Amino acid sequence: MLDAEIGEPSWVFGRPRYGVAADDSIVFAYWRDGYDHLATIDLNGLTRDLDLPYCEYSDLAVVGRTVHAIAASPRQEAAVVAIDLAPATPVDEVLRPARALDLDPAFLTPPEPIDFPTTGGRVAHALAYAPANPDFVAPDGERPPIITLVHGGPTAAARPSLQLDIRFWTSRGFAVVDVNYGGSTGYGRPYRDQLKGAWGVVDLDDCEAAVRFLADAGRADPARLCIAGGSAGGFTVLACLAFRQTFSAGADQYGVADLEALARDTHKFESRYLDTLVGPYPARRDIYTARSPIHHLDGFDRPLIVLQDWKTPSCRRTSPR
């Protein structure tokens, strides 16, 4: 038995996470501790982890003894790769490389998976990035400001592959924590089910718990805690600033300000989605109003930037799920 998440919710169809090789073994990707892995399992149930330099896989296609996939690492954006399973040590070949960035690896320390206590005796998860710039050293005793990132979804996940927006901030002295709050994918169904009826509560609790955990450990300045997110993550940003006092500033990209408006006017694929995440609508309209930042503007007393553009392309971090 493998303590990991293999399948993913089918928000996007036709993106397989497994395939059958010529020897009838199954090749599959699985999430564990915030990182993606590739493995095989044979007819006897023997699992073999493949030692490869990637932390995220998608669109697996198995032909014979070769796995084709889109793969990325903490130091490299996504590339198309072919992985030969025949040798004792798998050999990967890049078929279509990622764009050439020519970045100094000293700027690209891998994200650290962290687990931290949160409300209700739960444990939540995140990817933590320390500041990294070989040309500068912080003054003695100085703790970095920290940016809390909130993924879209809300039942998607923070991913550990190279993201230049994160590295922009870490190269300039900021710490970053990319939070996989209760409800996120990658930690099993019970973890994802934590968000049922609790969107606008659990996500806020876990984002606050993440920065407090790092501040208590001396890894962030408790007086300089920021939060940023888009789409569903933007809702969490707005709600944290409207209802809580932990964060000093926020950045909202095309976030949800009114849950009731989202419930009334959304696309067919997500129709009635909020019945699960918030409550049945309109029967529980009171919950929608209570959790919607648009109805609690008096709570906004800290700096906030709101970026709204209907032309903004959807992306992995912020696309609606």
The answer to the question of residue 320 being in a domain is: no
Whether residue 109 sits in one domain with residue 60: no
Q: Is 277 helix (H, G, I), strand (E, B) or coil?
A: helix
The answer to the question of residue 227 being in a domain is: yes
Q: CA-CA distance, 253 to 308, in Å (whole number)?
A: 6
pLDDT in tens, 211-227: 999 999 999 999 999 99
Q: What is the largest CA-CA distance in the chain?
A: 64
Whether residue 181 sits in one domain with residue 265: yes
Whether residue 64 sits in one domain with residue 109: no
Whether residue 207 sits in one domain with residue 136: yes
The answer to the question of residue 77 being in a domain is: yes
Residue 63 pairs in a beta bridge with 66
The answer to the question of residue 321 being in a domain is: no
Q: CA-CA distance, 248 to 204, in Å (whole number)?
A: 15
Q: Under a CB-based contact definition with an 8 Å cutoff, are residues 208 and 240 in contact?
A: yes
Whether residue 223 sits in one domain with residue 186: yes
* 40 CB burial (10 A radius; 0-12, 13-18, 19+): buried
Which DSSP category does 5 fall into?
Answer: B
CATH number at residue 252: 3.40.50.1820
The model's confidence at residue 314, banded by pLDDT at 50, 70 and 90, is very low
Whether residue 58 sits in one domain with residue 141: no
pLDDT in tens, 169-219: 999 999 999 999 999 999 999 999 999 999 999 999 999 999 999 999 999
The model's confidence at residue 310, banded by pLDDT at 50, 70 and 90, is low
Residue 10: what pLDDT? 78
Q: Is 169 helix (H, G, I), strand (E, B) or coil?
A: helix
Residue 316: what pLDDT? 38
Q: Which of these three, 68, 96, 124, is where a domain ends? A: 96
Per the structure, the complete domain to which residue 67 belongs is given by 18-96
